[in-house]
Structure 1
Amino acid sequence: MKFQTIFKTAALAGLALAGTSALAHVGPDGSAHHGFLTGFLHPITGLDHLAAMLAVGVWSAMTTRRLWLAPVSFALLLLAGALLAQAGVAFPAIEPMIAASLLVVGLLLAAQVKLPDAVGAVLVGMFALFHGAAHGQELGAGVTLAGMVLSTAVLHAAGIGLGLGLKRTSAWLPRLVGAMVALMGVNMGLGLLAG
């Protein structure tokens, strides 16, 4: 087994096991986090959001014709979820739904499931509402949310680029990445049950 393969496998396993540390949402804190840079970094610093957004891009690139549709749906409904949470709309089971999003998107990627483009966009968009609600409870409005949405778009674009590259070069690595993201979701869910 080549060193590069061992290194990639170990890195992905570490990512999967990091699910419990990904609970980056501390609940309503009066939107204490402000500023464009804070908003931009917020999705990157929570492993759950980072994994979900990259996985959506990779899955979309590998299985859909309109590879931009699911990521755009995710970004728009992420913003909608954040705005709704800031307006006082209570979302039930935010953390369990984020865990479910990792499980489902990971399984879609691992199994290379091809859904109709609109169905995939609605599915990831539904999960994005909960990711957005989690962010909306923590972030200020305006430029902070703009930073969050831009960061999300960058992560999706990176995922699409990665997916297009993997589509041409590796049949097993995207499936392994999907399995690791799904395991992150399971680990996060088990952490919620235990806590």
Structure 2
Amino acid sequence: MKSVFKSGVLALAAAALPVAAYAHTGVGEAAGLVHGFSHPISGLDHILAMVMVGILAFQLGGRAVWAVPATFLLVMALGGAFGIVGINVPFVETGIALSVIVLGAVVALNIRVSTAVAMGIVGLFAIFHGHAHGAEMPETAAGVAYAAGFMIATALLHVAGLGLGLVIARFGERRGAFVVRSAGGFAAVAGAGFLTGLI
């Protein structure tokens, strides 16, 4: 259990390294990239949802390993574009909180959906996450660099989720499943906290 926690922390720390690398690069494109990268990793709701997408993809296996995270990224880019140009998407914060609840519950209950259904679920929630990233872009940030930043950070969080699933699976079927389901349950409860404003 300790080694799983340690692996998860290391994966998230590794995902945060590029922020440190770009922290003193000035303005313009670099500032846009840094702002974009830091947005998904600055909120627990985003982090949990992204990691759950990775774990869900790992649970489903096969082509879902790449198709589910790729769907999230592509649809999130569309949502981000909506946010940047000012197209309104209603209930963004509610949608983000629900994404954490639903994805956490699917992982916790080990619900075996088809890859297409999983792509539809993550695609729906990706609109809300993308819009939040785009709408909160600083005025001084360059749009393309900002978008690239939040997409890179999101992809790394997906990879962290996939890696976490792989590490957990090494515990063996019984113990690994318990840890995965516990992680999903934690995310779902946290999502309920976001939805109700308790977190």
Report the TM-score range of the alignment, normalised by the length of the smaller protein.
0.7 to 0.9
Equivalent-residue separation in structure 2 for 1:125 and 1:47 (angstroms): 20
C-alpha displacement at 1:87, in angstroms? 2.0
TM-score by length of 1: 0.79
Whether the 8 Å CA contact 1:74–1:125 is kept in 2: the answer is yes
Counterparts of 1:70-85 in structure 2, within 5 Å, are 70-85=68-83
- Helix, strand or coil at the partner of 2:193: helix
Equivalent-residue separation in structure 2 for 1:85 and 1:37 (angstroms): 18
Q: Is 2:178 the counterpart of 1:176?
A: no
Whether the 8 Å CA contact 1:54–1:155 is kept in 2: the answer is yes
Counterparts of 1:11-90 in structure 2, within 5 Å, are 34-66=31-63, 67-90=65-88
Whether the 8 Å CA contact 1:63–1:112 is kept in 2: the answer is no
Of the three residues 153, 156, 159, the one matched with 1:154 is 156
Equivalent-residue separation in structure 2 for 1:64 and 1:108 (angstroms): 14
Equivalent-residue separation in structure 2 for 1:183 and 1:63 (angstroms): 22
Equivalent-residue separation in structure 1 for 2:159 and 2:40 (angstroms): 14
The RMSD of aligned alpha carbons is: 2.3
Equivalent-residue separation in structure 2 for 1:44 and 1:113 (angstroms): 27
C-alpha displacement at 1:122, in angstroms? 1.3
Equivalent-residue separation in structure 1 for 2:62 and 2:112 (angstroms): 10
Query: Which shifted more, 162-171 or 37-46?
Result: 162-171
**Letter of the aligned partner of 2:55 in structure 1?**
V
- Helix, strand or coil at the partner of 2:103: helix
Whether the 8 Å CA contact 2:86–2:135 is kept in 1: the answer is no
Of the three residues 122, 125, 132, the one matched with 1:124 is 122
Structure 2: runs of 5 or more not aligned: 6-30
TM-score by length of 2: 0.78
String of CA shifts for 1:34-80, please: whole Å, max 9, x gaps: 52112111111111101100111011101232211111111111111
Whether the 8 Å CA contact 2:34–2:146 is kept in 1: the answer is yes
**Letter of the aligned partner of 2:122 in structure 1?**
V
- Helix, strand or coil at the partner of 2:41: helix
- Helix, strand or coil at the partner of 1:113: coil
String of CA shifts for 1:70-106, please: whole Å, max 9, x gaps: 1111111111101012222111100011110000000
Count of aligned positions: 167
Whether the 8 Å CA contact 2:48–2:100 is kept in 1: the answer is yes
Whether the 8 Å CA contact 1:64–1:116 is kept in 2: the answer is no
Q: Which runs of 4+ in 1 moved over 6 A?
A: none
C-alpha displacement at 1:167, in angstroms? 2.2
Equivalent-residue separation in structure 2 for 1:64 and 1:90 (angstroms): 35
